A = this chain, B = another copy of it.
Amino acid sequence: MENNKLTIIKIGGNVIDNPEVLTRFLRDFSKLETQKILVHGGGKVATRLAGKLGVESMMIEGRRVTNEEMLDVAIMTYAGLCNKKIVAQLQGLHTSAIGLTGADGNSIVSQRRENSVYDYGFVGDITEINSKWIKFLLDTDTIPVFCAITHDQKGQLLNTNADSIAQSLAVGLSSLYKTTLIYCFEKKGVLQNVEDENSVIETINYTSYQSLKKKNIIHSGMIPKLDNCFEALKQGVKNIIISNPEIINNPNHPHTSITL
């Protein structure tokens, strides 16, 4: 184990929602020979539970509003069902893990999002990472598994974007570890041509990013994602990779590497 290297992996709905893919991913993840942290959202599990309970998903400009009932659904599915099943599976693979929200050990503090125009409800923007305590867990060979819930230090849990959690952890821990951040999604990387699965752009640096935006090859939802990546690199993260889960056990698997 290389103790000064840390890999933070964020998985999304394409992994969480497919038990076979999740099991395979966790097997690969458990074999990864660096210090590591897993970050996950809730995929469609929360939406399904909300549907069964008759809790309606309000959307404002494509963003979900988290009212009190929806927050409860998020806590039950992200922090309960998804998180604890991942932890139990990792234990079954002889990898000691611990499931966390930002409230646990005061590990991730956020503040409720304020917006003069819309109220997104119980949604948090991260303000602080308790790196020292997270390092303590890693030092006991316990792998932190973070779900997409944080807290405001005043007793309130807050729904928080899992990509942002992964990014903030990577930045917060980059003074203690050589940190690699991997975003696992359904494609092999950022595509030159969205219709061609194999047109993965190998490397994007800040200059090529500007040009890709101009040519409209990178657009809409990918822009804030990549803006965040460059911000994280500027703040000390060594390496950011975007690919699908197969990248974990095969570094030669196609992927996009983001560099400054």
Contact = CB atoms under 8 A, between A and B. Distances in A.
Interface in A148-171: 149, 151, 153-157
Contact of A77 (B76, B85, B104, B105): B76
A40 to B, nearest CB: 14
A101 B77 contact: no
A246 interface: no
A91 B155 contact: yes
Contacts of A85: 75, 157
A81 B84 contact: no
B103 A101 contact: no
Interface string A134-147: 00100010100000
Contacts of A236: none
Contact of A81 (B72, B88, B136): B72
A52 interface: yes
Interface residues of A, number: 41
Nearest to A87: B103
Interface string A211-248: 00000000000000000000000000000000000000
User: Main SS of the interface on chain A?
Assistant: helix
Interface of A: 49, 52-53, 72, 75-81, 83-85, 87-89, 91-93, 96-101, 103-106, 133, 136, 140, 142, 149, 151, 153-157
A92 B154 contact: yes
B96 A105 contact: yes
Contacts of A52: 52-53
A87 B157 CA distance: 9
A165 to B, nearest CB: 15
Contacts of A87: 101, 103-104
A84 B103 contact: yes
19 contacts: A52-B52, A53-B53, A75-B85, A76-B81, A78-B80, A79-B99, A80-B81, A84-B149, A87-B103, A88-B103, A88-B155, A89-B155, A91-B106, A92-B153, A92-B156, A96-B105, A97-B103, A97-B104, A98-B104
Of the listed residues A52, A79, A80, A91, the one surrounded by the most CB atoms of chain B closer than 10 A to its CB is: A80
A96 to B, nearest CB: 5
Contact of A84 (B79, B93, B97, B140): B79
